[in-house]
Amino acid sequence: MQEAGGGRMIGSIATGILVLALLYVAQSIFAPLIFSLFVIALVWPCQAALQRWLPKLVALLITLIVTMTVIVAIGSAVAWGFGKLAQWLFVNADRFQAVYVDWTNWLEERGLAVAGPLADRFDVAWLVGFVQGMAGRLNSFAGFALLVFIFVMLGLLEVEDLNKRLVSPAAQPHGMRILTANRVIGAKLRRFMTVRTFASILTGLVVWLFALGAGLELATAWGAIAFALNYIPFLGPFVATALPTLFAIAQFEKWQSVVLIFASLNVIQFIIGSYLEPRLTGASLAISPFAVIFAVFFWSFMWGISGAFIGVPILIAFIVYCAGTPSGKWIATLLSGGANAHPDHGVMKQDL
């Protein structure tokens, strides 16, 4: 019996590795597909409400226009912000080069060996190339957006028929479990994105106002980047804090100004991300911080920027599906945040 159990475990691990390898190799298809499922879960209530008053195709057209406008707006905000940074870097590269030389000389005078490795791995040309590369990748998401548009359009047309198939006797008992879990996932994702959008708008606005007050150049770009990257937990706010600090080093001569900007941006991110957001999301969306960080970095590795944006929604769906099965409930409990968290709350009871 133990050998059989060990064989099943090895088989499950091997299957999981093969599935992940497939998702990585075929990311050009699976990334927009999973992203579109996430979008469908968010916008389906809008589509269903419009269908009560308008023909189905007209309601679908309105939903698609609004959805793609939001997606393009968020993507364009990041692309525009990084584009502005690339232009500023190109014009002011000599300022960064001077700061870089001063810092490396200061380190060498004090016998710190970190200057050598830094010279090999970092220079102004690398920083310019990094920012330009980010802007270029964000500007080339037209193909990704087209696939998402197609998948969302077909998916919204399929939702009602899929729900009917899931409640049919031939699909039981798994059909009702999947249907109920899908409803719970949709509700959780909509609440997550509502709070995240509010926090992102607030973060972008506050960062913009702070940058204006501090005299930091590219204030509007910093606000746009902070708004869009706030949708990526931990990693997004870190980038939105580190980049303005790097630019402040080149702009201000006094190190006290740089420290003040760095500290103030961290305070903004902490108050909104670590204090306000958790209180708005509530215990129903409590997830282990380690699981959130892992999900963001893992799906970033798998699918790049799109994976970073949907890493947490994938984790939410995974937790809900695990909580709905006796064999996976322990996994959902481990991934949920807090000792009093109940990941299965509503999975079999909530009817949305």
The SS3 of residue 85 is: helix
253 within a domain of the structure (yes/no): no
> What does the pLDDT read at residue 115?
47
Burial track 233-246 (b if 16+ CB lie within 10 A, e otherwise): bbbbbeebbebbbe
Least confident of 46-55, 82-91, 256-265, 313-322: 82-91
Domain that holds residue 129: 32-159
Task: Answer whether 98's CB lies under 8 Å from 246's CB.
Answer: no
The stretch 31-53 carries a mean pLDDT of 90
* Residue 281: inside a domain: no
**pLDDT value at 38 more than 80:** yes
Residue at 339 is within a domain: no
Do the domain assignments include residue 298?
A: no
> H or E segment at 55?
none
**Structural domain contains residue 81:** yes
Residue 330 host element (H or E): helix 329-335
Give a yes or no: residue 127 inside a domain: yes
d(C-alpha 253, C-alpha 262), whole Å? 15
Is position 125 within any domain? yes
Mean pLDDT of 169-189: 87
Averaged pLDDT score across all residues of the chain:
79
The domain total for the chain is: 1
Could you tell me if 216 and 248 are in contact, meaning their C-beta atoms sit under 8 angstroms apart? yes
pLDDT of residue 341: 54
Residue 85: its pLDDT value, please? 79
| Residue 210: per-residue pLDDT | 92
Residue at 98 is within a domain: yes
Mean pLDDT confidence for 95-119: 60
Confidence of residue 205 (pLDDT cuts 50, 70, 90): very high
pLDDT digits (tens, 9 = 90+) for 266-292: 999 888 887 788 777 766 677 888 888
Residue-level pLDDT at 276: 82
Segment 109-122 shows an average pLDDT of 53
Give percent of the chain with pLDDT exceeding 70.
77
